[in-house]
Structure 1
Amino acid sequence: MSLLNRQHRVHLSIKDRYIRFVESGKKRKLLAYGQKSLPDGVVVEGQIKDRETLELIMEEMVGQWKLKGKKVSFCVPDSTVVVRKIQVTNEIPDHELKGYLYMELGQSIHLPFEDPILEAIPLGEATGNREVLLFASRETVLNEFTELLKGASLKPDIADLSVLSLYRMYYHLGLAKQDEHVLLVQIGLDALLLSVFNEHKPVFSRHYPLEFHQEHFELSKSRSGSDFYSWMGAQNELKSQSQDITMEIERFLSYYHFNLTKGNHSISKLVLSGDHPCMETFYTDIHTAIEVSVQPLLEPLFQTKKGRNIPPVYAECIGLALK
């Protein structure tokens, strides 16, 4: 491998339905991008269920786009991540914070999985207590994806969250304001992720599964060799799903205002992103129904070094490249 190629990095996102990547070079210049679809049942709710098939697809992807031997940053599956604020006593110093949180598992801290990796960021202090931002992800899932990438002749060295990567891109575009309470809305083929940021930090995140009906979609291949889905279902079925998503967002806005912030704060902006092929329909319905400013990230905002527009579905991968 040449010295020049050693500076190249791969930034990868693995969903239940897709693997996609962006490759970057010197000075974070974006060089290439691509995606492969995953058959039903290969990855389910962020967990590898058919390792053999996934390995074959990864190897095909690495060979097709000449990614062998390159360092990789990747997003941990959203469904295996918890982000929330918690309170701890001021008596716990920063260097003991993580150990304290591990001891509180099953006591004051309850997670939907038993093998968490924890990270914590101290926030503001109050009388007797202080707020801490807790990140938890499943260790077994992280290890499985790390081994998968190593087996495909890649060199994984950074794991991140898709919501942090998306916000990083949003911030890079100069759209973020410190005092806003912004809700990032990520709509996928089979999942909805809602995440709140304030003062450039995540506050809360919630993952919702969406029904996926294979017969409503058609799988095609672009001229560059990337797979993509198109909507083939009836318009009333799409309208029904769009209404369900809009109602879920409205419930979340109310929950954030009345429950999480005790009536003190409201969401001031929505940022809309995702890889569902009907994002424009979702944007129209959300924008019409909700009395909050909506910032769509649905147009190409970045180009490769050779001037090719990078589709907006690669937003999370671009955010990884900006890290």
Structure 2
Amino acid sequence: HPDDVEPSKLREYAEMEIGYSIHLPFDDPLIDVFDPVEGDGKAMMFAANSEPVNQYINLLLDIHTYPEAADVRALCNLRLLESMNLLDDTKTYLLTNWLINELSITIYSKGNVEFQRFQPLDTDLSKWKAKEAGEHQLDFSYLGEFDEYRMLITDQMLELERIMDFFRFSISKEQNGIDEIIVMGDNPNLNNIHSHLKQNFELPIKLINDQFMKKHYPGFKAKHAALLGLALKEVK
């Protein structure tokens, strides 16, 4: 950003530049700007489609619920990983968060979020069965042919490879690649996904599964990772 833009005016500046120097893939965005180092001419902008955000807001208002904290899932996961001393500020990580019907991808490089993408997994939710697993908890299992679901996972491997190449040759000015892949999420097939990734990528791959979580946060499972990361957020 220009040197003459004051830190308090960065959000206003970004709003004026949308559609000109800043292009977004949706209309009527909600944005915020974070300036970690004042005076260096760099800032980070967060943008979201206003429609789904307003849907969440209206839902919470309708049930008279006023949350004390809210955050992007990827940032919650990063906060949790940081609390477990798993992130090195000199490295670049590909953080993958696997749910039953979606994959969120984050590239975290040298202390900064460089890239985020949401990938839907086109699975038939009617083929997933929920089973009670304790108070207020459910476990899910797939009732269809698992090879069908495996193909969806395989398609995402190709997408991850394209994203890593895109980061190395288009985003990273130093043409640095990914140093490590981190696998997280509440997908019941997380161990299989981890094995599939190891077969496809010659990179260190860390799995945040139930056993790993138990070592750092006894009583919690892999599916609680994002909620724990949110709980670690300072509420002002």
TM-score (norm 2): 0.88
The 1:157–1:114 alpha-carbon spacing in structure 2 relative to 1, beyond 3 Å, is: farther
Of the three residues 68, 88, 100, the one matched with 2:13 is: 100
Q: Secondary structure at the match of 2:23?
A: coil
Answer yes or no: is 1:195 the counterpart of 2:106: yes
Q: Secondary structure at the match of 2:42?
A: strand
Shift, 1:289, TM fit: 1.1
Shift, 1:153, TM fit: 4.2
**Contact persistence 2:69–2:230 (CA under 8 A):** no
Match of 2:182 in 1: 271
Counterpart CA distance in 2 for 1:169 and 1:275 is 15
Shift, 1:267, TM fit: 0.8
Shift, 1:138, TM fit: 3.2
Query: Per residue, is there more strand in 1 or in 2?
Result: 1
Q: Secondary structure at the match of 1:204?
A: strand
| 2:101 alignment partner AA | D
| 2:34 alignment partner AA | I
Instruction: Give deviations 1:249-279, integer Å, cap 9, x for gaps.
Output: 1111111111111452111111111122211
Match of 1:317 in 2: 227
Match of 1:172 in 2: 83
**Contact persistence 2:7–2:38 (CA under 8 A):** no
Percent identity of equivalent pairs = 23
Counterpart CA distance in 2 for 1:187 and 1:143 is 25
Match of 1:84 in 2: none
Shift, 1:176, TM fit: 0.8
Shift, 1:144, TM fit: 2.8
**Contact persistence 1:190–1:211 (CA under 8 A):** yes
TM-score (norm 1): 0.65
Answer yes or no: is 1:141 the counterpart of 2:74: no
**Contact persistence 1:178–1:198 (CA under 8 A):** yes
The 1:243–1:140 alpha-carbon spacing in structure 2 relative to 1, beyond 3 Å, is: closer
Shift, 1:155, TM fit: 2.2
Shift, 1:233, TM fit: 2.2
Shift, 1:123, TM fit: 5.9
Shift, 1:302, TM fit: 5.0
Alignment gaps of 5+ in structure 2: none
Counterpart CA distance in 2 for 1:140 and 1:231 is 32
Query: Per residue, is there more helix in 1 or in 2?
Result: 2
**Over the residues paired in the alignment, what is the CA RMSD in angstroms?**
2.4
**Contact persistence 1:215–1:233 (CA under 8 A):** no
The 1:302–1:118 alpha-carbon spacing in structure 2 relative to 1, beyond 3 Å, is: farther
Matching of residues 76-225 of structure 1 within 5 Å: 88-122=1-35, 130-225=41-136
Match of 1:40 in 2: none
**Contact persistence 1:122–1:131 (CA under 8 A):** yes
The 1:226–1:125 alpha-carbon spacing in structure 2 relative to 1, beyond 3 Å, is: closer
Shift, 1:281, TM fit: 0.9
Shift, 1:105, TM fit: 1.1
Q: Secondary structure at the match of 2:85?
A: coil
Q: Secondary structure at the match of 1:310?
A: coil
Shift, 1:224, TM fit: 1.7
Shift, 1:189, TM fit: 1.6
User: How many positions carry a matched residue from both structures?
Assistant: 231
Counterpart CA distance in 1 for 2:214 and 2:4 is 46
Q: Secondary structure at the match of 1:205?
A: strand
The 1:124–1:255 alpha-carbon spacing in structure 2 relative to 1, beyond 3 Å, is: farther
Counterpart CA distance in 1 for 2:37 and 2:68 is 31
Answer yes or no: is 1:229 the counterpart of 2:137: no
Match of 2:202 in 1: 291
Answer yes or no: is 1:256 the counterpart of 2:162: no
Q: Secondary structure at the match of 1:203?
A: strand
